[in-house]
Amino acid sequence: MTTQAYIDQNKERYLEELFAMLRIPSVSTNKDHDQDTHDCAVLVQTYLVKAGLENVSLYPTKGHPIVYADKIIDPALPTVLVYGHYDVQPAAPLNEWKSEPFEPEIRKTEIHPDGAIFARGATDDKGQMFIHVKAVEALIQTDSLPCNVKFMIEGEEEVGSPSLYPFLQEYKDLVAADVIIVSDTSLLAKKAPSITVGLRGLTYLDVKITTARADMHSGLFGGAVLNPINTLCEMVAKLKNEKKHITIPGFYDDVVFPSDEERDMMRNAPFNAEEYMDSPGVYALDGEEGFHTYERTGILPTLDCNGIWGGFTEEGSKTIIPAVANAKISMRLVSKQDWHKATEQFTEHFTSLAPEGVKVEVTPHHGGNPYVTPTDSPEYKAASAAFEESFGVVPVPMYEGGSIPIIAEFKRVLGIETLLMGFGFDTDGLHSPNEHLGVWNFYKGIETIPGFYTKYAEMKKQA
């Protein structure tokens, strides 16, 4: 039986197994779901055994377990390491979901006429991670696996992968490989495949400003003292100028743009502004002047206020001048920017914006550096050839707006490159209500990945 015939014969089962995994609310940031997250790790372990992998184990960590498996057919052959994650974002706000977030449902949409799987984790990353499990299963069960393969599936990607960093250090030899492949990114469109060659880095911060020991009566003190909410809003607004350029001194010093050829490919890639805006329901596009949307979300750094609060926020009224105001700030970083340096630059600049009489506290959370894949490597060429064979079109190298902080660590610790071969769409509602993955996308990924293994093994043999 051919690999494709095996895939065709088992498509219905693939969906059933994915649905079982999607029903588990493996929300890693919420301790109330610790058991659910562990249960999901056990299910991933079960599926890897069923696929024909060997040495399938759960490695305990201080947080959620890491699932490891391998299939070594010949130590002399190249080894591919598959990375993914089984944890998901919280489902809130629940009232914006059209179906239960942890009860998967297939619904047709304009973008997905063949149907899309609606559930938290459908595209980020359970559905895309499962593409690799099923693709490798098809190769193993048809005796077609042309090289060695390892799996490393974690349960803390959505909270910054704190346990994976020490795991890499301790088990460096266990996960040693020639290349890493990840599907946690996206395609441009059905007829315009793409391979993500760049990921933005990230630094996430809490900021707090204090102007008094306690809240005050707005009649007695209003107009005579600083209001921290007003002050915080003014400080945040000063972080960008009228052209949406970030004003932190030295922030752009380590930003290196891609070649003109790559930027032209990005600008000329298919882009439907209406479709892009429709998924989240935004009313207008915005961003730094002089750049295409793909450039704004891929090769430019960003600074965003993710939340802001203070004072009285309950129902009813309470006339006070609050003593404290808070905000959450994230910065997406590109090319050679370092998240530790960016954090220091932000802290120094933000503190300098505070008027006299304001106490500023900046608390860094998780972060990670950007990553760029070399497009002249045999790994990238094999991936490009596999996409071209499956889609009939040469894929466009694209820069992804999101961050997978651990990717840069793979290069630093393991010394190997990572291929980002995503199969979802940007409009699939990642981290949002009604997250989904097209049924077509799910199956197309399973059909495409075996071609990568074959072509990669051939290229390494010829090298």
Q: What is the DSSP string of 133-167?
A: HHHHHHHHHTT---SEEEEEEES-GGGT-TTHHHH
First vs last C-alpha separation in the chain: 30
Structural domains of the chain, ranges and CATH numbers in brackets:
3-199+370-462 (3.40.630.10), 203-255+301-367 (3.30.70.360)
One digit per residue, pLDDT tens: the chain, 463 residues?
A: 999 999 999 999 999 999 999 999 999 999 999 999 999 999 999 999 999 999 999 999 999 999 999 999 999 999 999 999 999 999 999 999 999 999 999 999 999 999 999 999 999 999 999 999 999 999 999 999 999 999 999 999 999 899 999 999 999 999 999 999 999 999 999 998 999 999 999 999 999 999 999 999 999 999 999 999 999 999 999 999 999 999 999 999 999 998 888 888 888 888 888 888 887 899 999 999 999 999 999 999 999 999 999 999 999 999 999 999 999 999 999 999 999 999 999 999 999 999 999 999 999 998 889 999 988 899 999 999 999 999 999 999 999 888 887 888 899 999 999 999 999 998 999 999 999 999 999 999 999 999 999 999 999 988 7
- C-alpha distances in angstroms, 197 versus 21, 120, 333, 337? 29, 26, 15, 16
What does the block give as tokens for 86? 């089984």
Whose CA is closest to 66, among 48, 91, 50?
A: 48
The secondary structure of the chain in percent helix, strand, coil, rounded to multiples of 5, reads 35, 25, 40
pTM of the model: 0.82
Pair 135, 445: CB distance under 8 Å: yes
CA-to-CA distance for 11 and 52, rounded, in angstroms?
17
Rounded CA gap, 200 and 196, in Å? Answer: 11
Nearest to 362 by CA among 337, 345, 377: 345
- For residues 212 and 312, the answer to whether their CB atoms sit within 8 Å is no
Q: Provide the residue type at 19 as one letter.
A: F
**Hey, is 108 helix, strand or coil?**
coil
